[in-house]
Amino acid sequence: MSNNYVDYILDLLSPFGSITSRAMFGGHGIYKEKIIVGIITDDELFFKVDATNKAEYEALNSTPFAYNAKNKKNNLSYWKVPIEIMEDEEQLSIWLEQAFFISTKKFKNK
């Protein structure tokens, strides 16, 4: 994974609040106000998704982050942020806020 890509994403998201990253499992977690909202792996950004916004990702042909374990494909609730969203500051802000809300909601329920 390229540290340049992580720096690029941090710069891209910086107008939207306190955004940080932390290395994890061969990738990076992306945090807003210390709450994980996304992951970066293989120079791709994924945001936290649930039933409230999954259709928006599907409509843009996004896919979930998946990994193989014990010969089984496992999908996580992080979906690839489409390039058209990354190139639109207003939409990127909205999608980031959705991920933050979902992550905050999940965090508070634990």
Per-residue pLDDT of 45-96, as tens digits, reads: 999 999 999 999 999 999 999 888 888 888 889 999 999 999 999 999 999 9
Output the six-digit token pair for 23.
């290395």
Separation of alpha carbons 80 and 89, rounded Å: 16
CA nearest to 85, candidates 29, 38, 50, 41: 38
Output the six-digit token pair for 91.
């939409």
pTM for the model: 0.90
Residues in CB range of 51: below 8 A, 6 or more apart: none
